[in-house]
Amino acid sequence: DTAVSQTPKYLVTQMGNDKSIKCEQNLGHDTMYWYKQDSKKFLKIMFSYNNKELIINETVPNRFSPKSPDKAHLNLHINSLELGDSAVYFCASSQGLGGMFFGSGTRLTVV
Amino acid sequence: QQPVQSPQAVILREGEDAVINCSSSKALYSVHWYRQKHGEAPVFLMILLKGGEQKGHEKISASFNEKKQQSSLYLTASQLSYSGTYFCGTSGYGGSQGNLIFGKGTKLSVKP
């Protein structure tokens, strides 16, 4: 069983489209995250979420929105995609202050 | 604020040792270390919390100097499998302790 799974693995779409990336964790962790890794390999936090609190990185455009139907899922919706959104998006989870477990990533290409 | 890692890249022969440093301009509560191989997800190595030091693996260990706001990752007797990019992630105090800010990474290449 994959601990943190995200789909799709690859996503190619046109500018202006709306897309979603799904993430599920079966570790029973209380916090989930979305990170963006650009072409220079810089890992930048976008959101963190647990049952109580959503923390948004203020630099993230409001075209990006996390949706959490339950504790084990944190999906990422992106509206009006732009070329600069092309990157690898990683979902991750952690319990308390423990280590973070990452999904395998979604490579988003906007054309 | 993003922690600063050094060196940016290092090339080793199998069996050699390496040290990767991570420093922050703000007070740290925890430091995480991760390794990412090309085309894969980052993998958790270890965490160091304020007031403690944790050795995560037999030949990979780390230290945390709270006063200097620095952490170092030590890789001894390197193996080919150690190759990859190493990231430190830091968290400060307050409500977002779990939110890590990652450094730009150190690319480690181990040659036969």
pLDDT of residue A32: 93
Strands (DSSP E) found in B1-112? 4-6, 9-13, 18-23, 30-36, 43-49, 60-65, 70-75, 84-91, 101-102, 106-111
Query: Tens digits of per-residue pLDDT, A40-82?
Result: 889 999 999 987 678 778 789 999 999 988 889 999 999 999 9
The residue of A21, A35, A41 whose CB has the most chain B CBs within 10 angstroms, and thus the best one to mutate to test that interface, is A41
Which phi and psi angles does B82 have, rounded to 5°?
-80, -10
Instruction: Using the predicted structure, report yes or no on whether residue B18 has a pLDDT greater than 90.
Output: yes
Residues, chain B: 112
For residue A72, how many other CB atoms are within 10 A of its CB?
A: 16
Query: Tens digits of per-residue pLDDT, B27-64?
Result: 888 899 999 999 999 999 988 887 666 556 678 989 88
Write down the residue that tokens 């036969």 correspond to. Answer: B112
In whole angstroms, give the CA distance from residue A74 to residue A34: 8
In whole angstroms, give the CA distance from residue B112 to residue B101: 33
Nearest Cα to B98, choosing from A111, A100, A91?
A100
Chain A to chain B Cβ contacts (< 8 Å):
58
Interchain proximity B47–A102, CB inside 8 Å: no
Q: How far apart are the first and last CA of chain A?
A: 34
Is residue A65 within 8 A of residue A83, CB to CB? The reply is: no
